[in-house]
Structure 1
C-alpha cells in the first residue's frame, strides 16, 4: 500500500476507533462506574471471582484463528479459510462451554466456597458461544480496516447493554446486573456483524486451511493464556486468601487504572495490528509507527494516572463513597504501574504483526515465570496493597524484557523509548507538582483538577506545538478530501 494511502487508512481508522472509544468504551466504562456506585464491593468481588475461572477457559475460545486471519496477506487467503475458521470456532466453542458448565462452574464454587458463583460462571460463559459467531466478521472488517462499521457495532451493543444493566441494578438485581452488562454486548452484536459484512458461512471445511490459520493461532493462543494467567492470578489469590469485599475494592482500583489503559490502547492496537502486518518487511516504517503509538498513548494516559495519584482519594470518596475508601492506596500504586508500562505499551501487537507469534509467546512465558511468584508473595504478605506493589515490580521487569526484543528486531533502545514519552512525562511531573501544592494549600478539589489538566496541556503544547499542528492539519486534510470525494 502506498505511504499516503496507508497514512489515510491509519488516520481514518484512528478517528473511527476514537469515536468507538468515546461512545462505546467510555460509555461502557461509565456504566461500570455507575454500577460500582449502586452496588457493593462484595457484589463486584463475586463477579471478579467468576471471571477468573471463565477467562482461563475463554482464552482458548478462538484458538487464535481471528488473529491469524488478520495477519495473513489477502493473496494467501481463500474463501475456504474463512469457512473453516467459522465452523472450527463454533464446534470448539460448544466443547468449551460444556467443559465450563459441568466442570469449571462447580470447581469455581467449591474453590471459593461460594455456591452462587456456579450459576454466575455458567451465565457469564454464554459469551463463549457468541464469540466464534462474530470471529470471522470481525476479522474481515479489521483486515479491510473498516473501523467505521466496527465502531458502529461496538457502540450500539455497548449502549443498549449498558442502559439495560443500569436498569437492572436500579430494580434490585444486584450482581446479575454486572453479569448482564458483561454478556449482553456479545449477544447484541451477532446480527449486527452479519448485516455489516453480508458474509454467510458455507458448509465446507478443509484440513489445509485449518493448518494455515491454526499454525499461527496456536502461538497466539499460548500468548493469550499466559497473559490471562498473569492478569488473573492476583484476582484468584485475593478472592481466596482475603475476601470477596477486598477483591471488589481491588477490582475498582484495577478498573480505573490498568483496565482503563487496556481499553484505550486496544483502540490503537486494533488499528495498528493490520498495518504492522502489511509493513512487516520494512523495519524503518515499523519503528517510526511504534514510537508514535508509544508517544500518543502516553500523552492520553499520563494525565489520567497523574490525577489518580495526586487526587485519587477525594475522587473515590466524592464519587463512590466511603464504602470504597480501601481502594485509594492500591489505586495510586496501580496508576504508577500504568505509567511504567506505557514505555513499551503495544509491543506484543507489534511482534505479532511482524509475524513472530512464537517470540511473543516466549516473551509472555518469561514474564509469567516472574509475575506469578511475586504476586503470590505480595498478596500473602500485604493483601491488595501487596498485589499492587508486586504489579509495579512486574511492570519494571516487563519493560526490560520487552526492550530486549524491541532492540533485537527493530533496534529500539531504552533511550529511544524515554525520548518518545519525554513530553508527557515532563508535563505530568510539572502538573503533579502544581496539583500537590494546591492540595496542601486547601484549594477546592475542582479548581485543583482544572489546574492539573491545564498545566499538563500547556507543557505538552509547548514541547510539541509543531508536531500537533501538523497532525491536526493532516486530519483536517483527510476529512476535507473525504467530503469532496465521498
Structure 2
C-alpha cells in the first residue's frame, strides 16, 4: 500500500487528533446546548450572546498576539513564558474591572436589566482563562493533541451536566452563566495539572518586547476582526428583539460547530508544523497545499450537507420554538465554507513573520465588511440582508487573504481554485440530492436525517473515488491507526 510522506503524515495525523478534539468538544457543547435550548428561551441565549461579545473582545486584548508569537518560535525560555503569564494575568484582571464598571451602561443600552449582573459574574472567566493560557500554548507547541482532546472533551461534559441540572431546577439564564464559568475553571485546572509548568516571578522586558513586536499587529488585526465578526450580533441586538438575536446566535453556534472544528484543527496543527518549514519554501508550499486540499475535502461536503438537512434537524433537535432560525443556519453554512480557508492563508503570513501583511489584510477585510453592512442598513434589507451580506463578505475576504500566498510560497489563488473546483462540484451535487429528500414523506425526522446522511456519504465517497480525488485515500491512510486503536478498545 502506498505510504504517505512523513511531513504530510505528521501534519494531517495531528490534524485528525486535533479535529477529534475540537469536534468532540464542540459535539458535546452542541448536545448540551440543544438540551438547554429545549428548556430555556431564545431570549436567554440572545442575552448571553451579547455578553459573550464583550468577553471575546477582552480575551483578544489580553492575548495580545502572544499565543502565535510563542507558537512561531522554535525555542522559548522560562523567562518568555513567565513574562506572558504575568502580563496576561495583569491585563485580564484589569479588563474584568473595566467590564464591571461598564456593566450598567451596557445593560441600559440593550434595555436588559439583568445583563449587568451577568457581565459582572461571567467576566471572571477572563481571569480564569489567563491562568491556563501559557499551559495550553505549551501543550499545543508539544503537539500533545491527544491529551488536549481528553481535557477539552471531559470539561464540557461535566459543566454541561451541571448546567442542565440548574436549568431543570429553575435557574433560567444563570444555568448558562454557571456552565460557562465551570467549563473555563476546569480547563484551566486540567491544563495546569497535566502540563506541570510553574511560572517564575520574572517579567523580562526583552522577552516582552520581542514577542510583542511580532504579536501587536496580530492583536490589532484580531481585535478588528472580532469586532466585525460580532458586529452582526450587536446590530441585531440593538435593532431587533432579543429572541431574534437568540435565533441568530444559536444558528451561528450550530453552523460554526462544524466549520470552527475544522478551522481550529487546521490552525492549531498547521501553524506549529508549517513554522518548522518557514525557511524551506519548497517543503512549506508542499505541506501547505496538501493541508489546503485535505481541508477543502472535509469542509465543503460537511457545510453544504448540513444546510441541506437543516429543516429536519431543527425540528428533531430543537423543536418548533426554534424553526425561525432554520434559514439563518442555512445561510451561515455557506459562509462557514470559507472560514478554514481564511485561517490557512493567514497562517502563511504568520509563519513567514509577515504580521504587517496580516494587519493590512485584516483592515482591508473589515473595510469590505463595513461596506457590506453599511449597504444592507442603507437599503434596509433586514435580517436576511445582513446574513447574505455575511456570505458576500466571507467570499470577498477569501480572495483578499489568499492574494499574497503566491508571493510568499508560490501557491496562487488560481492554483487554489483549481484544487477546489472538483470537490466543490461533488459536494454541491451531494447536498442537492440530500435536500431533495425534504420534499418526500418519511415516517419521522430521524429516519429522514439518517437517509440524507447515509445517502450523502455514499454519493460523496463514490464520486470522490470515480474522479480520483487523492485526498480520499490520504485521509483513509492517516486515520487507519486511529481506527485500529478505537477498534481494539471496543474489543
Q: Could you state the TM-score of these two structures normalised by the residue count of structure 2? A: 0.90
Instruction: Give the structure 2 partner of residue 182 of structure 1.
Output: 180
Cα deviation for residue 423 of structure 1 reads 4.1
Pair 1:155 & 2:153 matched: yes
Which of the residues 326, 329, 332 maps onto 1:328? 326
Instruction: Give the structure 1 partner of residue 91 of structure 2.
Output: 92
After superposition, residues 381-392 of structure 1 pair within 5 angstroms as 381-392=380-391
CA contact (8 A) 1:423 1:460 kept: no
CA contact (8 A) 1:261 1:338 kept: yes
Which secondary structure does the structure 1 equivalent of 2:467 belong to? helix
Mean Cα displacement is larger for which, 303-312 or 268-277?
Answer: 303-312
Distance in 2 of aligned mates of 1:339 and 1:278: 27
Instruction: Give the structure 1 partner of residue 272 of structure 2.
Output: 274
After superposition, residues 402-413 of structure 1 pair within 5 angstroms as 402-413=401-412
Instruction: Give the structure 1 partner of residue 489 of structure 2.
Output: none
After superposition, residues 12-51 of structure 1 pair within 5 angstroms as 12-51=13-52
Which secondary structure does the structure 2 equivalent of 1:200 belong to? coil
Q: Could you state the TM-score of these two structures normalised by the residue count of structure 1? A: 0.91
Cα deviation for residue 367 of structure 1 reads 0.8
Distance in 1 of aligned mates of 2:109 and 2:140: 39
After superposition, residues 18-417 of structure 1 pair within 5 angstroms as 18-74=19-75, 77-103=76-102, 105-341=103-339, 343-378=341-376, 381-417=380-416
Cα deviation for residue 248 of structure 1 reads 0.5
Distance in 1 of aligned mates of 2:305 and 2:215: 39
Cα deviation for residue 264 of structure 1 reads 2.5
Distance in 1 of aligned mates of 2:355 and 2:153: 30
Distance in 1 of aligned mates of 2:254 and 2:439: 24
Aligned residues: 476
Which secondary structure does the structure 2 equivalent of 1:59 belong to? helix
Cα deviation for residue 169 of structure 1 reads 1.9
Q: Deviations over 1:326-354 (max 9, x none)?
A: 11222222222223555545222232122
Which of the residues 449, 457, 482 maps onto 1:453? 457
Distance in 2 of aligned mates of 1:7 and 1:436: 35
CA contact (8 A) 1:41 1:249 kept: yes
Residues 411, 12 of structure 1: CA spacing in aligned structure 2 closer, same or farther, 3 A cutoff? closer
Residues 11, 100 of structure 1: CA spacing in aligned structure 2 closer, same or farther, 3 A cutoff? same
Pair 1:421 & 2:430 matched: no
Distance in 1 of aligned mates of 2:112 and 2:87: 34
Mean Cα displacement is larger for which, 442-451 or 85-94?
Answer: 442-451
- Which structure 1 residue ranges, 5 or more long, are not aligned? 482-486
Distance in 1 of aligned mates of 2:350 and 2:471: 29
Cα deviation for residue 436 of structure 1 reads 4.0
Distance in 2 of aligned mates of 1:425 and 1:474: 23
CA contact (8 A) 1:344 1:417 kept: no
After superposition, residues 457-472 of structure 1 pair within 5 angstroms as 457-464=461-468, 467-472=471-476
Distance in 2 of aligned mates of 1:157 and 1:404: 39
Distance in 2 of aligned mates of 1:101 and 1:321: 36
Distance in 2 of aligned mates of 1:419 and 1:12: 25
Distance in 2 of aligned mates of 1:383 and 1:38: 29
Q: Deviations over 1:258-299 (max 9, x none)?
A: 453123320221111111221112222222222333332233
Cα deviation for residue 11 of structure 1 reads 4.4
